[in-house]
Structure 1
Amino acid sequence: MRLFMARLTAFVMRSFGLARRFIFIDPSVLQSAKDWLISKQGSDGCFMQQGTLYHNDMKGGVGDHDWMTGYVVASLLELGVLVTDPIITNALSCLRPVVGNLGNTYTTALLAYTFSLAGETSTRAQLLNALDNVAISEGTKLHWSQTTSGDTLAVEISAYVLLAVLFVQPLTTANLGYANRIVNWLVTQQNPYGGFSSTQDTVVALHALSLLAAEVFRMEGSSTVTVQSLSVAGEVYNFDVNRDNRLLYQEKPLKNVPGRYSVRGKGSTCVSVQVACFYNIPTPIKASRTLGVEVKVARDCKVRGADLMLNITVKYNGAKPTTNMVIVNIKLLSGFTADTSLLGSPPDSFAPLVQRVDTGDDHVLVYLKEVKCALDMFSICPLHVCCICTS
Structure 2
Amino acid sequence: MSLFLTYNDILITKRSDAIYIKSSNPKDVIDSLEKSGFELNRVDIELLKLIDLPKEGWYKIEENPKGRFYFFYELLFNRAKTMGIVIFAGDTVDEIFTRLAKDMNLDKKEFLKYYTKYSQFLEGGILADKYIIAQNADEEVIVRYLLDISNTKLDFFARQKFGLLYTHNQLHKAIIMASIIHKESNNLKEMSTIASVINNRLKKGMRLQMDGTLCYGKYSHKIVTSKRIKKDNSYFNTYKHKGLPPYPICTVTMDALDAVTSPKETDYLYFMLNSDGTHRFTKNYDEHRKNIKKFKDEKIAKKEKKQKKEIKRDKPCKKSKDDEVKAKKVEVKVVKDKKKDMPKKDKDIVKKEDKIIVEKEEVKDINQTTTHKDINETILSVF
TM range (shorter): under 0.3
The alignment's TM-score, normalised by the length of structure 2, stands at 0.20
Higher relative contact order (CA 8 A, sep 6+): 2
Larger of the two Rg values belongs to structure: 2
Q: Point out the structure with the larger helix share.
A: 2
